[in-house]
Amino acid sequence: MLVVLAAYITDLLIGDPRWLPHPVVYIGRFIAFGERQLRRVARGSKQLRVAGGILAVLVVGSSYFITLLLLQGAAAIHPWLAAGLEIWLISTTMAVRGLAGAAARVLSPLIRGDLDLARQQVGWIVGRDTAQMGAPEVIRATVETVAENIVDGFVSPLFYALIGGAPLAMAYRAVNTLDSMVGYRNELYRDLGWASARLDDVVNYLPARWAGWMLVLAAWLSGRRAGEARQAIKRDAGRHPSPNSGIPEAAMAGALGIRLGGLNFYGGRPSFRPYMNESGVLPGTDHIRRAVDMLYLSSFLALTSGLAAAWAFRSLWCMCQGTVL
Q: Where are the domains of the chain?
A: 2-320
**Quick one: pLDDT at residue 266?**
85
196, 52 in Cβ contact below 8 A?
A: yes
Pairing of strands 269-276, 260-266: antiparallel
**Dihedral angle sign, alpha carbons of residues 308, 79, 160, 4:** positive
Give yes or no for a contact between 178 and 214, defined as CB atoms under 8 angstroms apart.
no
Q: Which of the residues in the chain have pLDDT under 50?
A: 324-325
Residue 269: per-residue pLDDT: 86
**Torsion angle (degrees, nearest 10) of CA 83, 86, 92, 94:** -90
Q: How far is residue 162's CA from residue 155's CA, in Å, rounded to a whole number?
A: 11
Mapped onto helix, strand or coil, the DSSP state of residue 288 is: helix
Q: pLDDT at position 323, please?
A: 55
Chain centroid to CA 134: how far?
A: 26
189: phi then psi, degrees, rounded to nearest 5: -115, 5
